[in-house]
Amino acid sequence: MYVKGVGPARAAMLEAKGLKVVEDLLVYAPFRYEDRSNVKSLRDLAPGEMATVLAEVRSTKVSGFRRRNLGLFEATFTDASRGVLAGKWFHGAYLADVLIPGQKIALFGKVEFDTYSGHLAMMHPEYEILADDEDGDGEEEQLLATVQVAQLPVDRCRDRRGTSPAMTRAVRQRKSARSGSSLDAPGPV
């Protein structure tokens, strides 16, 4: 029995890294920790800082390149402060079906000044699509609770074979949810 999201192929990738059972994930020390508690409005962002922003997708587009079929996915974000932030992902054409205008999203990354557009930008920010509260009660508290993690572990297992820090965090969370509040339950990853 596997954890949801980890089938035989992904289990083989993890096993190649020495991660055979959930206990192996517990002793697999993170490479570093990221402080994502720096939640700011778009107006308060400054170039050079690492920040988390809660924003709404305003527009998206995919630009092609002449060489090969490389796509640059660009999205424009805005929030209540009326600030504007651009997000750019190389090889990100798949995001055209993921990020939809009007969607609420949390972004984390390094803020840079984009001389081409004249706006602040994040290159390849990590993102999390946030659940929208239908009735509007407690929406802001829910969004902040979703993204405000003081220290988020970043694992060393990013590679081209399908493993990433986000994937190992998801496996840990799914195993925790399946076995109660403890990750100590034995079983395969």
Structure tokens at 166: 């986000």
- HSE toward the beta carbon, residue 115, CA cutoff 13 A: 0
Q: How many CB atoms lie within 10 A of CB 163?
A: 20
Determine the length of the chain.
Answer: 189
Residue 172 in 3-state DSSP?
Answer: helix
For 39-147, CATH number? 2.40.50.140
In the chain, the amino acid numbered 118 is G
How many angstroms from the chain centroid is the CA of residue 87? 13
CA distances from 10 to 18, 73, 157, 168 (A): 13, 27, 13, 11
Task: List the domain boundaries for the chain.
Answer: 8-26+153-172, 39-147
What tens-digit pLDDT sequence spans the chain (189 residues)? Answer: 567 777 888 888 888 878 888 777 777 777 777 777 778 999 999 999 999 999 999 999 998 766 666 678 999 999 999 999 999 998 888 888 899 999 999 899 999 999 988 889 999 998 888 876 555 555 555 455 545 555 666 665 555 455 555 666 666 666 666 555 444 444 455
DSSP label at residue 13: H
